[in-house]
């Protein structure tokens, strides 16, 4: 206050200096003041004096207390980057499946104990307070969670990487189960506020839609294009801090929200339609209203293309604006300092948008603009499924983004000239490789745009990258072999071991020290302890406690009582035919059939857990959920199964649920049809937490098995290279007749045993299994799956042998840290220097 009184005109003029000085005098923010700050935020910022049932305000007060500390470090990180010209990466993704932020921030800042102490005055636990936070569910599944793990690893490795995404008002829907059916409810995750974000409305950028293109000449007679008559929306940034693990670095995830511009439609305004003119502004805010809940399939809606362009344009404009403010409109060395990683084809319109900004806004010529674009863009492919390959109709493009369509045509024309040189006279090649797909309606092939415009194209596991090179993108591989590379996915060991499994973390720390959290390659030191009987006993005790925690979770959400003495067999992931939850259900029915017919010698009691969301428009996936629930109902009600088999479908599988599930799992189900799962990352979380995998040779399962050794992995099923041959003469009904177990399972399904009062409910599922065109080969893989399940069960009998395998799995999981993945992105694609 004395400062304010002593302010003179002189100090006001030196405003900037004044702010910095203020900062030096800012109250100390450290561990000792944490309890005081918590109280101050609770009583004053939030104006509360009672804790309340939900702990919401206490959570918010703690989050604000922690955010203060993040803001300080975030500023320091930014200033460090501004001091020198540093090469930096931008990770563009339509999805960031962040989950909760509090526990992760406390771990990374080493403030868990001090927060616990501060909360003790409020007579509650940190765990209860943390429960009040809503998951940030801004993603569907693996792809979005990968982006979140990558941000943690980038910050923890001290790499200058900024995440760019969309601040969806509604994230991934909340799933409940009603009479076995999936019910979708909107996820209004912002309703109670989001204390981690800081908005920066002064940094809003303008995004154009519709309109048309005009040609004009500048005073030197050079021709230019102007995209005019557009309907603009504003992109307003909301910044979320991303703390590194105990290294003082705090990076930023910038999420864009769409808002209306303040221009009123004057004619409407003058006609007295003031309210109507204002109401129409809702259209602008629709763009970031909701996340599309489709995993591994496109949906083709115009609004989705708007979202993609909105994110791409806002993020590129943001980066170019910063560049121009620092270095002026000289882009000659821009590509030396910037790289853009495209998370799947969703943001691939960025290729054309960067061209547009450089050509139209900054007046570079084509060659200079293309030189920059094609040396700064890098593309990650996430799937081989044809239904996921994005194509946008040319008429839609022409209407919504006319200038971008022009640019895409020009990129394509120049590209096809290159194709013609490489394959002279081969017009088929030109047609096959064209970014524009011909047909009754032309389409833009977004993956091809991404490949043509990028200097790097990567797959996400060794097998997946090979299949891209030899199959889907083979022509491109022949043209540009040097672009193609593999980056096997990973998951962050902070969230997925240190945070979610404190019991195991402590045990590990007591044996090999705590450095594994920052350097996960050290986890291999556990190998030498795998045979140590005392350690095995401790390992089992931790697993047992985690199973207790999961059993309580399952009981609270489903009413089903899991017995922690049984084997916990878990499949949680999006529901999709290629992931084959159906194969797992058939095995469950087989176990039920064994119990009913009294074949229970050497039967290992199991609790089978399912979880996952189906896209709301995915008919078969929803049927599979219903089947799982009906089968669970029959089994859980049958007294013969009481001590032997339990089945539950846990609703609303999300990041926070996985944090309870993976530490308690014994057997991890990774059973996709070979060649269909690009990588998987759930498989890695389970492995880190000591689960043993039963799986096919698909995605990263192959690398998991290589790392842990074939003897510590339950392998079954057709191999990717056999799948096409099997399909050629596939006769599932013959296979069913030839396998007694499968025949009995099918008979139970077909007689309506699981849908006694709902006739024909599962006819489509039965038909799919029996179809000679079943692309997922469920019947083919059933016998070897059952055999490996039996092998796993017998091994579980020998608890010492099982525990040893469990320890060896954790010990071999070092390479599946996203720190390793990000180090490779940095070394081989981004070429960044740590801060
Ligand atoms: C890890 C994770 C996924 C990905 O699981 P996959 O088994 O690799 O498909 C999906 N959803 C959530 C919530 C996750 O944590």
Helix/strand/coil (H/E/C) assignment for every residue in 626-658: HHHHHHHHHHHHCHHHCCCEEEEEECCCCHHHH
Hey, where are the domains in the chain? Answer: 329-487, 563-796
Enter the CATH code of domain 329-487: 3.40.50.2000
Pocket probe mutation, ligand 1, options 149, 574, 610, max atoms within 8 Å of Cβ: 574
Q: Which residues contact 834 (CB under 8 A, 6 or more apart)?
A: 157, 158, 159
Residue 612 zone, left/alpha/beta (φ > 0; ψ -120 to 50; rest): left
pLDDT of residue 798: 97
Task: Quote the CA–CA distance of 549 and 564 in Å, as a whole number.
Answer: 10
Please state the pTM of the whole predicted model. Answer: 0.96
Angle at 711 between CA 708 and CA 713, to 5 degrees: 65
pLDDT of residue 376: 98
Task: Enumerate residues lining ligand 1, CB below 6 A.
Answer: 141-142, 145, 573-574, 654-655, 658, 680-682, 685
85 as an active site residue: the answer is no
The total number of residues shown for the chain amounts to: 835
345 as an active site residue: the answer is no
Summarised one tens digit per residue, pLDDT across range 434-490 is 999 999 999 999 999 999 999 999 999 999 999 999 999 999 999 999 999 999 999
Summarised one tens digit per residue, pLDDT across range 523-562 is 999 999 999 999 999 999 999 999 999 999 999 999 999 9
The token pair that represents 364 in the structure block: 């570079």
Q: Which atom of ligand 1 is nearest to the CA of 97?
A: 13
**Is there a shared CATH topology between the 329-487 domain and the 563-796 domain?**
yes
pLDDT of residue 494: 98
**Residue ranges in the chain whose pLDDT is less than 70:** 1-29, 264-271
Q: Which parts of 666-797 fold into alpha helices (H)?
A: 682-688, 701-708, 720-728, 732-738, 740-750, 763-770, 778-797
Residue whose structure tokens are 């042998």:
801
pLDDT of residue 275: 79
Ligand 1 midpoint to CA 335 (Å): 34
- Residue whose Cα lies nearest atom 10 of ligand 1: it is 141
Closest CA to 377 of 331, 418, 345, 409: 345
Q: What are phi and psi of 561, to 5 degrees?
A: -100, 110
Residue 192 zone, left/alpha/beta (φ > 0; ψ -120 to 50; rest): alpha
Q: Which of 41, 69, 574, 804 is catalytic?
A: 574
573 as an active site residue: the answer is yes
Summarised one tens digit per residue, pLDDT across range 644-698 is 999 999 999 999 999 999 999 999 999 999 999 999 999 999 999 999 999 999 9
The token pair that represents 10 in the structure block: 């002189």
Task: Quote the CA–CA distance of 176 and 160 in Å, as a whole number.
Answer: 40
CATH class of 563-796: alpha beta
């Amino acid at each position: 206050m004395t400062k304010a009184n002593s302010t003179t005109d002189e100090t006001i003029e030196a405003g900037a200096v004044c702010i910095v000085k203020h900062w030096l005098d800012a109250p100390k923010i450290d561990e000792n003041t944490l309890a005081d700050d918590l109280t101050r935020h609770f009583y004053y910022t939030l104006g509360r004096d009672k804790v309340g049932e939900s702990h919401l305000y206490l959570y918010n007060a703690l989050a604000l207390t922690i955010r203060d500390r993040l803001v300080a470090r975030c500023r320091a990180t930014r200033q460090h980057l501004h001091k020198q010209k540093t090469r930096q990466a931008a990770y563009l993704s339509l999805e960031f499946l962040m989950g909760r932020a509090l526990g992760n921030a406390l771990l990374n800042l080493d403030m868990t104990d001090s927060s616990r102490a501060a909360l003790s005055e409020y007579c509650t636990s940190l765990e209860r307070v943390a429960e009040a936070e809503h998951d940030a569910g801004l993603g569907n599944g693996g792809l979005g969670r990968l982006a979140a793990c990558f941000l943690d690893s980038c910050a923890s490795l001290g790499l200058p990487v900024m995440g760019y995404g969309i601040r969806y008002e509604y994230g991934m829907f909340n799933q409940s189960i009603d009479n076995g059916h999936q019910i979708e409810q909107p996820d209004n995750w912002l309703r109670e506020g989001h204390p981690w974000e800081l908005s920066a409305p002064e940094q809003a950028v303008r995004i154009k839609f519709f309109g048309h293109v005009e040609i004009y000449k500048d005073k030197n007679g050079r021709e230019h294009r102007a995209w005019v008559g557009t309907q603009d929306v504003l992109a307003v940034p909301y910044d979320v801090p991303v703390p590194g693990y105990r290294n003082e670095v705090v990076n930023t995830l910038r999420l864009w929200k769409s808002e209306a511009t303040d221009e009123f439609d004057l004619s409407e305004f003058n006609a007295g339609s003031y309210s109507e003119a204002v109401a129409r502004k809702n259209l602008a805010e629709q763009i970031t209203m909701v996340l599309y809940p489709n995993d591994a399939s496109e949906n083709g809606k115009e609004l989705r293309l708007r979202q993609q362009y909105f994110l791409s344009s806002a993020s590129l404009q943001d980066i170019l604006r910063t560049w121009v403010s620092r270095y002026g409109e000289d882009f000659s060395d821009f590509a030396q300092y910037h790289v853009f990683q495209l998370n799947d084809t969703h943001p691939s319109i960025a290729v054309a948008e960067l061209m547009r900004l450089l050509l139209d806004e900054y007046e570079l010529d084509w060659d200079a603009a293309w030189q920059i674009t094609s040396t700064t863009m890098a593309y990650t492919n996430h799937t081989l499924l044809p239904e996921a390959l994005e194509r946008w109709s040319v008429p839609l493009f022409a209407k919504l983004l006319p200038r971008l369509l022009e640019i895409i045509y020009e990129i394509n024309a120049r590209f096809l000239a290159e194709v013609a040189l490489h394959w002279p006279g081969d017009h088929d090649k030109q047609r096959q490789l064209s970014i524009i797909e011909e047909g009754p309606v032309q389409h833009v092939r977004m993956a091809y745009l991404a490949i043509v415009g990028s200097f790097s194209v990567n797959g996400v596991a060794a097998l997946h990258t090979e299949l891209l090179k030899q199959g889907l993108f083979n022509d491109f591989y022949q043209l540009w072999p040097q672009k193609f590379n593999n980056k096997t996915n990973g998951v962050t060991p902070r969230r997925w071991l240190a945070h979610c499994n404190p019991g195991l973390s402590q045990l590990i720390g007591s044996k090999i020290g705590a450095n594994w959290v920052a350097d996960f390659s050290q986890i291999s030191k556990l190998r030498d302890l795998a045979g140590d009987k005392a350690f095995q006993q401790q390992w089992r005790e931790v697993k047992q406690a985690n199973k207790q925690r999961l059993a309580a979770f399952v009981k609270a959400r489903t009413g089903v009582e899991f017995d922690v003495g049984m084997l916990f067999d878990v499949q949680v992931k999006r529901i999709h035919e290629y992931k084959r939850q159906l194969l797992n259900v058939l095995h469950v029915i087989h176990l039920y059939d064994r119990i009913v017919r009294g074949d229970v010698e050497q039967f290992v009691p199991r609790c089978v857990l399912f979880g996952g969301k189906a896209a709301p428009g995915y008919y078969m996936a929803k049927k599979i959920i219903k089947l799982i629930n009906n089968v669970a109902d029959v089994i859980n009600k049958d007294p013969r199964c009481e001590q032997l088999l339990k089945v539950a479908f846990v609703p609303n599988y999300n990041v926070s649920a996985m944090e309870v599930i993976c530490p308690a799992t014994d057997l991890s189900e990774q059973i996709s049809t070979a060649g269909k799962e690009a990588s998987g990352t759930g498989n890695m979380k389970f492995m880190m937490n000591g689960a043993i995998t039963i799986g096919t040779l698909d995605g990263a399962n192959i690398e998991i098995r290589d790392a842990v050794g074939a003897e510590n992995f339950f392998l079954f099923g057709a191999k990717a290279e056999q799948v096409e041959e099997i399909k050629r003469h596939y006769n599932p009904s013959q296979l069913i007749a030839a396998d007694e177990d499968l025949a009995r399972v099918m008979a139970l399904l077909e007689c309506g045993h699981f849908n006694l009062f709902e006739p024909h409910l599962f006819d489509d599922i039965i038909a799919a299994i029996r179809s000679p065109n079943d692309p997922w080969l469920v019947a083919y893989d059933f016998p070897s799956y059952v055999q490996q399940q039996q092998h796993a069960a017998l091994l579980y009998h020998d608890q010492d042998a099982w525990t040893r395998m469990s320890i060896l799995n954790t010990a071999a999981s070092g390479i599946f840290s996203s720190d390793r993945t990000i180090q490779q992105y940095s070394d081989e694609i981004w070429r960044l220097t740590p801060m």
